[in-house]
Amino acid sequence: QVQLVESGGGSVQSGGSLRLSCAASGFRGSYYCMAWFRQAPGKEREGVAGIHSDGSTSYADSVKGRFTISQDPAKNTLYLQMNSLNPDDTAMYYCARTTIYGTCGRLNFKGFPYWGQGTQVTVSS
């Protein structure tokens, strides 16, 4: 049974930092893309950052220079280091995984079949 479990969300003040984690289990295969998405109330789910199995990364323009995606293959864990947070970053953050070629760079949520339950990030001004 495949599973993605996020953790690390919380409430911080503007300018603060958080580190999200996503533990993956049950997956097989050496090719994959794992990514972070977020969804604020009343808004569409948007891609935040993705990392390919070869280590290449992609970011949404809104988080470039502030967020860093990384992974520890030995622990099957994905991370998202979020710095300089602002209220616009407030959302439910989801971890997702896909093996569909070409999906990682575009960060289109429709290309990701596996999802975690989400972790809430709230940034106050």
The string of pLDDT tens digits covering residues 50-80 is 999 999 999 999 999 999 999 998 999 999 9
Q: Residue 29: pLDDT above 90? A: no
Cα–Cα distance, 45 to 38 (Å, whole number): 6
Q: Residue 31, Cβ neighbours under 10 Å: how many?
A: 11
Q: Confidence class of residue 103 from pLDDT cuts 50, 70 and 90? A: confident
Whole-number Å distance between alpha carbons of 10 and 1: 28
The H-or-E segment that residue 103 falls in is helix 103-106
Residue 5, phi then psi, degrees to nearest 5: -130, 115
Give CA–CA dist 104/52, Å, rounded: 7
Token pair 């990384």 in the structure block, residue: 70
